[in-house]
Structure 1
Amino acid sequence: MPTPVNCPCGTGSPYEMCCGMYHNNPGTAPTAEALMRSRYTAFSLGHFDYIAATQKLKEAPNQSASDIQDSNEYTQWIKLEINATEEGSEKDKQGTVAFSAHFKEGKHIGCLNERSVFKKVKDQWFYISGEHDIAKNTPLINSAAMKLGRNDPCLCGSGKKFKKCCAAS
């Protein structure tokens, strides 16, 4: 997938100055939220090695990048919304991030709502676990920060115009 100009995590910053920095240097995200945003972006761009390197799952400690890729093969991530954060600053040892991640699978759209748990081990943040629910066929609600023109490049990073990509559903 081509590298997007704007970061898919929704900050409005250029990818290389946002999550791209962490993708190029795994283990450097300074906060739980920064790690969460960079993981979302990695999912949206297909950087599954980064996902595997930034997690220490209790329930699946040996999950590989190819396992992650297989389970996300048909998912196109569209938009991320951070709903709340608790702790997770540079000084903390743990934190939680609640978010909504809108996605498309085939002709269906949905929204993953999750409360993710992060832990800092030897000055590096890791995703530990999350409680989530998936709402299917949900409307994509565009916030003011995410407004796109029909001819703008799609935020999902496909390289297509918005009207020919995510707006087409």
Structure 2
Amino acid sequence: MLTARCPCGSDKPLEQCCALYHRGLPAPTAEVLMRSRYSAYALGLIDYLRTTTLPAQQAGLDLQAISAWSLESSWLGLTVESAEEFDGQPAHARVTFTAHWRDAGGEHSHRECSAFVRAGNAWYFIDPTVELRASRNDPCPCASGQKFKKCCSAFF
């Protein structure tokens, strides 16, 4: 019996890799979260993409556009270039990667350095396409209890 390989490129079976996180296990690192989000795009798991985005940004996501891109594309692979975690309360991270896909317009790739924050035991993607209405002295949208300028502002 063949088992499906995980789309994230780990060479592990999906059920022993990203499916664990898609079913609710918190990703242990920002890189694992990013890989599981790529797999979610490949598998059409739009709810997972929403719930792993910073909660303060979830209402601003265009879920129809995300769903269309996910379902109308063939996901060709993921290359992770680097992953850096920054200690602190809360912890932050950056993951640089290139995602490859094919759609009606041909083959494409997108290189990005994504930002993440850990709140409690969960990592969240900080979506640069969703505007946050936070000024320097407002409470940080990650719910750390700190002011925005002392927490996530450097990652937006």
Q: TM-score, normalised by structure 1?
A: 0.66
Give the Cα separation in 2 of the matches to 1:92 and 1:42.
25
Superposition deviation, residue 61 in structure 1: 4.0
Aligned position for 2:100? 102
Q: Which has the higher contact order (CA 8 A, sep 6+)?
A: 1
State the AA in 2 paired with 1:19.
Answer: C
Query: 1:77 is aligned with what amino acid?
Result: W
Q: Give the distance between the partners of 1:45 and 1:112, measured in 2 at CA.
A: 18
Contact preservation (8 Å) 2:31, 2:95: yes
Aligned to 1:114: 112
The one-letter code of the counterpart of 1:32 is: A
Deviation at 1:35, TM superposition (A): 0.1
Matched with 1:16 is 15
Taking only aligned residues, the RMSD between alpha carbons, in angstroms, comes to: 2.5
Shift of 1:56: 1.6
Q: Evaluate the alpha carbon distance shift between residue 71 and residue 104 of structure 1 in structure 2; reply closer, same or farther with a 3 A threshold.
A: closer
Q: Say which structure is richer in helix.
A: 2
Give the whole-Å Cα distance in 2 for the aligned partners of 1:86 and 1:71: 28
Counterparts of residues 72-91 of structure 1 (less than 5 Å): 72-87=70-85
Distance change (3 Å), C-alpha of 1:67 and 1:88: farther
Contact 1:57/1:129 (<8 A) preserved: no
**SS of structure 2 residue aligned to 1:55:** coil
The offset of 1:76, in angstroms, is 1.8
CA contact (8 A) 2:50 2:58 kept: no
Which one is further off, 16-25 or 66-75?
Answer: 66-75
2:152 matched to which residue of 1?
A: none
2:34 aligns with 36
Deviation above 6 Å: which 4+ runs of structure 1?
Answer: 57-60
1:34-60 deviation per Cα after TM superposition (whole angstroms, max 9, x unaligned): 000000000001011100010027766
- The 1:9/1:114 distance shift into structure 2, 3 A limit, reads same
Return 5+ residue gaps in structure 2 as ranges.
130-156
1:70 is displaced (CA, Å) by: 3.1
Residues of 1 paired with 2:55 and 2:96: CA distance? 18
Aligned CA distance change for structure 1 residues 88 and 64 (closer, same or farther; 3 Å): farther
Give me the TM-score of the superposition, normalised by structure 2.
0.71
Matched residue, 1:55: 53
Instruction: Give the Cα separation in 2 of the matches to 1:105 and 1:18.
Output: 26
Q: Percent identity?
A: 33
Cα shift at 1:129 = 2.8
